[in-house]
Chain A
Amino acid sequence: MLKLENVSMAIGDNTGEAREIITGINLEFKPGKLYAITGPNGGGKTTIAKVIMGIYKNNSGHVLLDGEDISNLSVSERAKKGIAYAFQQPPRFKGLTVPDMLNIARPGLDQVGIRKSLRDVGLCPEDYQDRDVGPGLSGGEMKRIEIAQVLARDARVSIFDEPEAGVDLWTIQRLIGLIIAKYQNSPKSTAIIITHNERVLPICDEIIVVDGGRIDKQGSGAEIWPLIKDDIECKVKLQCRGEIGYEF
């Protein structure tokens, strides 16, 4: 089980003052469950994910994995312990191909496994055998390949940071369906999806609403979804009418 105990993280702002990005976060992520973290932009969702992965270091509190305090472990040490993170905007690499990245994600993955990983995220394997994970790929392709890497890792805790961002509507459904199918009934794995997607939120075992760097609401999908759905649906309608952008 992954546990965050009273976790805070602050950065220095342009006046030199420390500004807390997340404050006093207490969360438990149990195996076999699918969690959604949602909330407004700048609320602290990605920061929580990056603190779990070790990309950001918490200034106070503890990150515990099966009771072990991993707060001081590096990103790679946490990855080896079974935490995986699909970046919201994955970086690009010159000279590393799509199969190279999948092989790094899961050493020893053979051609059959590579092809399956790519097909699962809706990519035709033949088109990606020699292609760099570089500037030649679209944002949507990068996102699918990023998710394929995390799925290939079979990690104990997998975090997907806005898997729908930058992806076409058809693909969103496919990717979300894939993540749900893999994790919803998986007794040993935990999935955390950072999302605003109104189709994902109601079916998650637990919804965590983060706002202003704090936990605003937390509970089962059945409890929390009715409290936030109007807000989310209103925003979706405004997006469809072009009155607001897709980021919120």
Chain B
Amino acid sequence: MSFKAEDMKLISTITDLTDIPSGAINIRVDGQAVIRNSSPNISVGPNDDGTGLKVEIKAGTRDEAVHVPVIVTKAGFKDKVYNTFIVNEDADVTIIAGCGIHNDSHADSGHDGIHTIIVKKGSHMKYVEKHYGEGSGRGKKILNPTTDITVEDGASAEMELVQIAGVDDTLRSTIARIHENGSLKITERLMTHDDQRAESLIDVYLKGTGGNAQILSRAVARDKSSQVFKAALIGQADALGHLECDAIIMDQAKIQSVPQLVAEDAQAVLTHEAAIGKIAGEQLVKLMSLGLSEEEAVNTIIEGFLK
């Protein structure tokens, strides 16, 4: 199976792949799986009701990855998929998801990815999901990911959620439950520009003793774009949670940041930091004193901030 150059470029933007790797993979193009392979330790197949994928990683699998990117290239196409990922006991894997939309039409294109992730006892999972939109049409590029993740006893997960650019409208919902001695780190990086709108809702329930959660959000809103970030840490046990949201606001953009801490157990320790501000003049001057133009300095600061 080979892809058109523009489709491969889109896949590469969201996965960093330059070629189709061997091993576990599912590439979905305009609602159809065009490549689907399992590996000895990672099975990739349809879910029970045929609405999406079921990816299951065998217990004890170490240092393997599965790629499940989606691209939408058909004008006005709206895709919806339900995927389940099960990481069995004592595994250590990376899941590379993500969605790219190319839309040159005046009709809206979109993808709703609804994911259920279960990280079983003693396992570690890294999940990377990048979103990107491009195309010259007036039709919007819309991405609405919904993720429900359970981190079982002694398991750990890292989620890297990135909106690179070009997504006109997004509603991102993430719900997480962390059990005894489980840990979860969510890093979300969002860039909006022009008239784009982004809303991110994250609820993390610390359900077990010794649980640990970190939510780190970095956002940049340019032009007339708007962003809403609402994240809640709900401590229901003797557990630790930290929430940090930093945003750079530019031009006529708007940002609303609502960190919420809810303690339902006297032993829960929950903290948050939140900041919204423009790029500091002294940062610009510093980079310009090293020879960058003002525009290069702005871009360097934003790229670093979202890295």
Between A95, A104, A105, A149, the greatest number of chain B beta carbons within 10 A of the residue's beta carbon is seen for A95
Q: Are B246 and A105 in contact (CB under 8 A)?
A: no
Residues of A within 8 A of B282 (CB): 91
Whether A87 contacts B286 by the Cβ 8 Å rule is yes
Q: Which of A79, A93, A95, A100 contacts B289 (CB 8 A)?
A: A79
Query: Is A199 interfacial (CB 8 A cutoff)?
Result: no
The answer on a CB contact under 8 Å between A93 and B283 is yes
* In the complex, residue of chain B having the shortest beta-carbon distance to the beta carbon of A78: B289
- Complex interface: chain A residues within 8 A of B297 (CB): 76
In the complex the two chains form, is A153's CB within 8 Å of B290's CB? yes
Chain A hits for B306, CB < 8 A: 95
Query: Is B307 an interface position by the 8 A CB rule?
Result: yes
Instruction: Choose among B218, B283, B287 the residue that contacts A104 (Cβ–Cβ < 8 A).
Output: B287
- Interface code A146-162, partner B: CB below 8 Å = 1, 0 otherwise? 00010001000000000
Chain B proximity of A192: nearest CB distance (Å): 14
Residues B304 and A100 in contact, CB atoms below 8 Å apart: yes
Interface string of B219-249 (1 = CB under 8 A from A): 0000000000000000000000000001000
User: Given A76-B294, A96-B300, do A85 and B289 touch, yes or no (CB 8 Å)?
Assistant: yes
B232 → A minimal CB distance (Å): 24
Secondary structure at chain B's binding surface: helix, strand, loop or mixed? Answer: helix
Q: Given A91-B280, A96-B304, decide whether A104 and B290 contact each other with a Cβ distance below 8 A.
A: yes
Q: Within 8 Å of chain A (Cβ to Cβ): is B285?
A: yes
List chain A residues, Cβ under 8 A from B290: 79, 84, 101, 104-105, 149, 153
Partner of B304, one of A74, A84, A85, A93: A93
Say if the beta carbon of B252 comes within 8 Å of chain A.
no
Q: Does A137 count as interface, using CB distance less than 8 angstroms?
A: no
Known contacts: A76-B293, A149-B290. The answer to whether A55 contacts B304 by CB under 8 A is no
Is A95's CB under 8 angstroms from B305's CB? yes
Asked if B292 is an interface residue, CB under 8 A from chain A, the answer is yes
CA distance A96 to B291 in the complex (A): 16
Contact A84–B287 (Cβ < 8 Å): no
Are B288 and A76 in contact (CB-based, < 8 A)?
yes
Q: Are B292 and A104 in contact (CB under 8 A)?
A: yes
- Count A-side interface residues using an 8 Å CB cutoff: 22
Q: Is A241 an interface residue (CB 8 A)?
A: no
A94/B246 contact (C-beta < 8 A), A53-B289, A55-B289 known: yes
B301 CB within 8 Å of chain A = yes
A90 CB-CB contact with B under 8 Å: yes
Does A75 lie at the interface of the complex (its beta carbon under 8 Å from any beta carbon of B)? yes
A80, A87, A96, A101, most chain B CB atoms within 10 A: A96
Chain A residues near B300 (CB, 8 Å)?
96, 104
Taking residues whose C-beta sits less than 8 angstroms from the other chain, chain B's interface range is 20 to 34
Complex interface: chain A residues within 8 A of B218 (CB): 94-95
Q: Evaluate contact between B288 and A79: CB separation under 8 angstroms.
A: yes
Contacts of B303 in A (CB 8 A): 95
CB under 8 Å from chain A, chain B span 258-307 = 280, 282-283, 285-294, 297, 300-301, 303-307
A140 CB to nearest B CB, Å: 18
Taking the closest CB of chain A, its distance from the CB of B6, in whole angstroms, is 30
Whether the pair B289, A94 counts as a contact (CB closer than 8 A) is: no
Contacts of A84 in B (CB 8 A): 289-290
Q: Which residue of B lies closest to A83 (CB)?
A: B289
Q: Are B286 and A90 in contact (CB under 8 A)?
A: yes
Interface centre among B286, B289, B304 (most CB of A within 10 A): B289
Residue of B nearest to A80 (CB): B291
- Which residues of the partner chain B approach A94 to less than 8 Å between Cβ atoms? 218, 246, 304-305
Chain A residues 125-155 with CB under 8 Å of chain B are: 149, 153
Q: Mark A50-90, 1 if CB is under 8 A from B, else 0.
A: 00010100000000000000000011100110001101001
Chain A residues in the interface with B (C-beta under 8 A):
53, 55, 74-76, 79-80, 84-85, 87, 90-91, 93-96, 100-101, 104-105, 149, 153
Nearest first, the 10 closest Cβ-Cβ pairs linking A and B are A95-B304, A96-B304, A75-B288, A76-B288, A79-B291, A91-B282, A95-B307, A95-B305, A91-B283, A105-B290
Q: A76-B297, A101-B290 are in contact. List 9 more A-B contacts (CB 8 A).
A: A74-B288, A74-B294, A76-B292, A76-B293, A79-B289, A84-B289, A91-B286, A94-B246, A95-B218
